[in-house]
Amino acid sequence: MSYIVKPRFHHPQLQKNDLGYTRRDYEGTLTTLCGGCGHDSISAAIIHAVHEMSLAPHQLAKVSGIGCSSKIPSYFLERSHGFNSVHGRMPSIATGANLANRELYYLGISGDGDTASIGLGQFCHIVRRRINMLYIVANNGTYGLTKGQLSATADLGSKTKSGEESQYDNIDLVSLAIDLGASFVARSFSGDKEQLVPLIQAGLSHRGFALIDVISPCVTFNNTPLSAHGYKNTWENNVVLSEIDFVPMRKEITARYSAGKDKEITLHDGSVIHLHKTGSGYDPGNRENALLHVNEYKKQGRIATGLLYINQDQSDFHELADTVNKPFNRLNEHDLCPGGEVLADINETFM
- Residue (of 100, 126, 103, 108) closest to 72 by Cα position: 108
Residue 114 DSSP SS3: helix
Stretch that binds ligand TPP, among 106-114, 157-165, 180-188, 317-325 (CB under 6 A): 106-114
C-alpha distances in Å from residue 312, one per residue of 202, 208, 215, 252, 285: 12, 8, 25, 22, 9
Can you tell me which of 112, 155, 243, 245 binds ligand TPP, judged by CB under 6 A? 112
Residues in contact with another protein, counted by CB under 8 A, come to a total of 65
Q: What mask, x for binding Mg ion by CB under 5 A, covers residues 112 to 131? A: xx------------------
Q: How far is the CB of 237 from ligand SF4 (least distance, A)?
A: 21
- Residue (of 31, 67, 65, 35) closest to 46 by Cα position: 31
DSSP annotation of 206: S
Exposure of 211 by Cβ count < 10 A (0-12 exposed, 13-18 middle, 19+ buried)? buried
Give the Cβ contact number of residue 172 at 10 Å: 19
Q: Is 111 in the site for Mg ion (CB under 5 A)?
A: yes
Give residues in contact with ligand SF4 (CB under 6 A). Answer: 33-34, 37, 39, 68, 140, 144-145, 218-221
Q: Is 179 in the site for another protein (CB under 8 A)?
A: no
Q: Which does 112 bind (CB under 5 to 8 A by kind): ligand SF4, Mg ion, another protein, none?
A: Mg ion
DSSP 10-36: PPS-----TTS--GGGGB-SPP-SPTT
Separation between Cα atoms, residue 59 and residue 61, nearest integer Å: 7
Nearer Cβ to ligand TPP, position 143 or 209?
Answer: 143
Q: How far is the CB of 151 from ligand SF4 (least distance, A)?
A: 11
Q: Is 243 in the site for Mg ion (CB under 5 A)?
A: no
Q: Which does 345 bind (CB under 5 to 8 A by kind): ligand SF4, ligand TPP, another protein, none?
A: none
Q: Is 30 in the site for another protein (CB under 8 A)?
A: no
Backbone angles phi, psi at 31, to 5 degrees: -65, 150
Stretch that binds ligand TPP, among 105-113, 223-231, 299-307, 334-342 (CB under 6 A): 105-113
Q: Alpha-carbon dihedral of residues 157, 289, 239, 249, nearest 10 degrees?
A: -130
DSSP 116-169: HTTTHHHHHHHHHHT-SEEEEEEE-SEETTTT-EE-TTSPTT-B-TT--B--SP
C-alpha distances in Å from residue 151, one per residue of 35, 146, 158, 227, 319: 21, 11, 11, 12, 36
* Cα atoms in the 13 Å half-sphere on the side-chain side of 213: 29
Residues within window 200-219 making contact with ligand TPP, judged by CB under 6 A: 218
Q: What mask, x for binding another protein by CB under 8 A, covers residues 305 to 344? A: ------------xx--xxxxx--xx-xxx-xxxxxx-xxx
Q: Is 69 in the site for ligand TPP (CB under 6 A)?
A: yes
Q: How far is the CB of 138 from Mg ion (least distance, A)?
A: 7
Residues within window 107-166 making contact with another protein, judged by CB under 8 A: 121-122, 124-125, 129
Q: How far is the CB of 109 from ligand SF4 (least distance, A)?
A: 13
Find out whether 87 and 119 touch, Cβ atoms under 8 Å: yes
Q: Which does 312 bind (CB under 5 to 8 A by kind): ligand TPP, ligand SF4, another protein, none?
A: none
Q: Is 73 in the site for ligand TPP (CB under 6 A)?
A: no
C-alpha distances in Å from residue 295, one per residue of 213, 217, 299, 300: 15, 22, 6, 9
- Residue (of 185, 298, 279) closest to 238 by Cα position: 298
Can you tell me which of 46, 47, 50, 68 binds ligand TPP, judged by CB under 6 A? 68
Q: Which residues bind another protein (CB under 8 A)?
A: 1-3, 29, 56-59, 61, 63, 73-74, 78-86, 89, 91-101, 103-104, 121-122, 124-125, 129, 317-318, 321-325, 328-329, 331-333, 335-340, 342-344, 346-347, 350-351
- Residues in contact with Mg ion by CB under 5 A are 111-113, 140
